[in-house]
Chains A and B, each alone.
Chain A
Amino acid sequence: MTSVHVADLVKDYTIRNGLKRTRLRAVDHVSLDLKPGRTVALVGESGSGKSTIAKILTRMETPTSGTVEVVRDDGTTVEKGAYRREVQMVFQDPFASLNPFHSIEHHIARPLRIHNRTAAGEETRERVLEMLERVNLTPAANIAPRRPHELSGGQRQRVAIARALAPGAKVLIADEPVSMLDVSIRLGVLNLLGRLQREDDLAVLYITHDLATARHFSDEITVLYRGRVVERGPADAVILDPHHEYTKLLAAAAPDPERLGRVTADDSAFNDTVERDAIDNGRCYDHFAGEWREAGVPAAAR
């Protein structure tokens, strides 16, 4: 089993505009912990740094400062080559994350072969079919030779999940895995993720902007605003008893037939001195501790 400790993560992007260079802080002193068998939801609006955190965790980006530590149960740290085996990602758009040129079999066979999980040839093929059956794509022998455009969005996302699990991943980053899918099949894909998580004791980081699925699917919620953690805690506590004005706004942004008009978040909404202070000083409300604390330090022990 594998846990992930993210401590004080900062990511700056340099924006070149002619000769002027400005710095954009996408992720600002974020700390979070992923534990086997538990799901942490990362919630926030577009541009709040959710996907940047996913990219850093999958080592597609290097952090400006801060550390990401992936630790196995026996206390050993996961390094270099093994990292790609342990930490995998499911992308947002199933229509873009599968190569239109290659068969479904290729997508699942490659991770198996790269990490030497199977010998080439028949063994890999059998394992591919096994993986497809695990994500409820049956008959697997019929699906395997097809190409992505012959599958529906939900089926493709299942293939993407199978690909992520193929190397034997223990940590799964799911970057809005259902936001591009039809509403009617979202629950099916989420339940599949939940089942696989229980079976393999996965640590899951579930990135979303949808509070409803976050509450349904995750144990903990971390709310991100402009790259900063503004609130974190058990899923129910954050949704039912939001302390930060931004979390309240997010909760209110879910469509409610009783209320008309649009709710948008901006700094002017946070006039309450506590929240104002929190935004300026990088503090967040920690439901585990039941108080406002520094966002940079890891969550209180639970």
Chain B
Amino acid sequence: MTNLKPANTTPVAAAPARSGWRSLLPTMTPWLAIGLILVAGISLFGLLGPLLVGDPRQIRDQGLTPPSADFWLGTTQTGQDVLAQLAFATRGSLQIGLLVGVLATVLSAFFGIYGAYRGKFLDDAFSLFTNVFLVIPGLPLVIVISGFVPRESRGLWTIAVVLAVTGWAASARVLHAQTLSVRQRDYVAASQVSGEKPWRVIVVEILPNLLPVIASQFVFAVIAAILGEAGLSYIGLGASNSATLGTMLFYAQNGFALSLGAWWWFVPPGLMIALFGTGLSLVNFSIDEVINPKLKNLRQHRRRARRALRLERDLARTAAKETDR
């Protein structure tokens, strides 16, 4: 009955293992390169900077000195080294951003993907829950929650959880829509027919096709978290036990840095936030191209058009030279 081919005894040359991962990597463009350099540079600064600088809390008698050889970014009103503060603050902000990014992504993936996959009542319930969180005005709620928690117990984790809880709903909706589309496809049905367990269908068959979307939502969540935390700290509702870029701005504001013209005190943290946000956004644009190949075609189309225009101009110039002669 089983008419199998004669066993192939010669070992087959191992073909290069190609997986789907490569197709998920965005194409390298100048914008992506700039974004990656910004993100990597600031991350390195946050990671290694605190090891190289002195104590950011040390008070000296030389207050509000502009940048010099001793203090590259000057000192604060109480003589603290701004560079040292910046290094520690960057680390604090990155911690918050990463923590919130992971928490919000996990929450949105659970409510978005699992709900859409199961469908029916669970999906309706999860959707309702997501919608409720979607219409809750984020920042006011964050302010209320942060204000409600007593200052001494308001740690890094409290702020991270508060920001994640108010920030996951939009990503959940995006993932929900994508999952609805993916789970209708035949290959999902085929894996169910061949007897895959539901969790394997979700994790192995559906999830990889959502990875670019998840990555983009994650990057977005990190940006939102860093900005949100900076805003909270600036109005004095941030984590009590950690230094972040927001707390730096808060103290700069309290120390009348602006009216005293101490630009070296408030520009570095502000610039740091802006640059990190820019870098992540540039990375995000490149991930968008993976999700929506039309964007990539558009870019290639523009480049081809530019090249054609240049060629045309060159031809016209040579033609003009010919006639001159």
Contact = CB atoms under 8 A, between A and B. Distances in A.
B165 to A, nearest CB: 31
Interface in A112-156: 114-115, 126, 129-130, 133-134, 140-142, 144-147
A199 B192 contact: no
A33 B94 CA distance: 65
Contacts of A129: 8, 12
Contact of A88 (B4, B5, B194): B194
B30 interface: no
B2, B8, B20, B193: residue with the most chain A Cβ atoms closer than 10 Å: B193
Contacts of B13: 141
Given A89-B193, A145-B15, A99 B5 contact: no
Contacts, number: 93
Interface string A143-185: 0111100000000000010011011000000000000000000
Contacts of B1: 199-201
Of the four ranges (under 10, 10 to 19, 20 to 34, 35 or more), the interface on chain A belongs to 35 or more
Given A144-B15, A145-B16, A199-B1, A114 B195 contact: yes
A81 B195 contact: yes
Contact of B18 (A98, A130, A145, A164): A145
B240 to A, nearest CB: 45
Main secondary structure of the interface of B (DSSP, over half): loop
B69 interface: no
B18 A97 contact: no
A141 to B, nearest CB: 4
A97 B195 CA distance: 15
B325 interface: no
Interface of B: 1-5, 8, 12-13, 15-20, 23, 185-187, 189-196, 204-205, 208-209
Given A99-B208, A103-B20, A144-B15, 19 more contacts: A59-B193, A60-B189, A81-B195, A84-B195, A88-B193, A92-B186, A97-B189, A99-B209, A111-B194, A130-B5, A134-B4, A134-B5, A140-B12, A145-B15, A145-B16, A147-B18, A147-B20, A167-B194, A200-B2
